Structure 1
């Protein structure tokens, strides 16, 4: 089933409506859908390299908007479903500790996880459930998702097919290295 869905998404990249599908896929992936927008962004950028940055912008905006939906899902479902269960089992203190940790490290979590292949919906829903500041979440989402998609577009724009193969085979490594550099930057700013 997942393979058919993947093939369908790839077939969309050749259609005139592909930019709209890219936006919608990015939005859905950030809130509930399993496939990342990269599966459409990569073939679209390869087919029209001069439009790669436009496609990255669409993916970024769709992902950030979907992140707001995911945040709302986490916030609403937590209040209606999870909060009574937590209270019933007397885990109020444990959840308060989770919220405190997310408030303290949430920015780093959002920035790092937004760059990695880990589904972004996990971050968006957790941010809503933890009550992370919505506007800070939106700003961080714009930075991290834009960083990811524009980096892909840059590589695809200038390196074409060889970049595609490299990205598909080593995306986890690339984003992990970028995340390490980002964390190092935070430590340098904090302790320098």
Structure 2
């Protein structure tokens, strides 16, 4: 099954709809969806390393737009949808603590969490809930999310073939490592807040 999903993502790199799907995943991940766009970004960049830059731009733009949607959920819909999402991800009892931290460390929270596997949607929703400056939120989101996706683009563009051989040889191990990192991000987020 893993091989079929991986092969689909690699083959999708040549399809005209692939950017739309990757953009939709990136948008959704920043506001409510648990799966990061890296699941498409990495295989598509491996398939077409020369397009890794375009893929990083699409992921950055759509992630920031999704972040603004998450911000709106926190600012406008926190009492209904926002609280439900925060509780769904297990952060309900820590929102006030996180909100207080925003007053002092908002920029650092956005920058650091945007680069890590810690779920970014928690940052976007709480940024809206905390009333963090929207323009600063967008600026720091561009820096953090762009940094994350362009690091992937640099690696795939420069070392794509070398990485591809190793991933394809041990696909199960790499997928397990990716899931482990994602789960570790959730655990760290739970412990930090």
- Tell me if both proteins adopt one fold, taking TM over 0.5 as the criterion: yes
Deviation, structure 1 residue 20: 1.2
Deviation, structure 1 residue 53: 0.3
2:43 counterpart residue number: 43
* Distance (whole Å) between structure 1 residues aligned to residue 62 and residue 82 of structure 2: 28
Secondary structure at the aligned position of 2:50 is classed as helix
Deviation, structure 1 residue 117: 1.0
1:124 counterpart residue number: 124
Aligned-residue CA RMSD in angstroms?
3.0
Q: Does 1:16 align with 2:16?
A: yes
1:29 counterpart residue number: 29
* Distance (whole Å) between structure 1 residues aligned to residue 30 and residue 81 of structure 2: 21
Structure 1 residues 106 and 70 mapped into 2: Cα distance closer, same or farther (>3 Å)? same
TM-score (normalizing by structure 2): 0.70
Contact 1:115-1:145 at 8 Å conserved across structures: yes
Deviation, structure 1 residue 22: 1.1
Matched residue count:
158
2:70 counterpart residue number: 70
* Distance (whole Å) between structure 2 residues aligned to residue 55 and residue 105 of structure 1: 31
Structure 1 residues 24 and 8 mapped into 2: Cα distance closer, same or farther (>3 Å)? farther
Question: Following superposition, which runs of at least 4 residues in structure 1 exceed 2 angstroms of deviation?
Answer: 6-16, 77-83, 97-101, 161-172
Deviation, structure 1 residue 14: 5.2
* Distance (whole Å) between structure 1 residues aligned to residue 50 and residue 43 of structure 2: 13
**1:29-178 correspondence runs (5 A):** 29-78=29-78, 95=96, 99-163=99-163, 169=177
Contact 1:9-1:39 at 8 Å conserved across structures: no
* Distance (whole Å) between structure 2 residues aligned to residue 17 and residue 138 of structure 1: 27
**Unaligned residue ranges in structure 2 (runs of 5+):** 84-94, 168-173, 186-193
2:92 counterpart residue number: none
Contact 2:70-2:124 at 8 Å conserved across structures: yes
**Unaligned residue ranges in structure 1 (runs of 5+):** 84-93, 177-192
Structure 1 residues 82 and 18 mapped into 2: Cα distance closer, same or farther (>3 Å)? closer
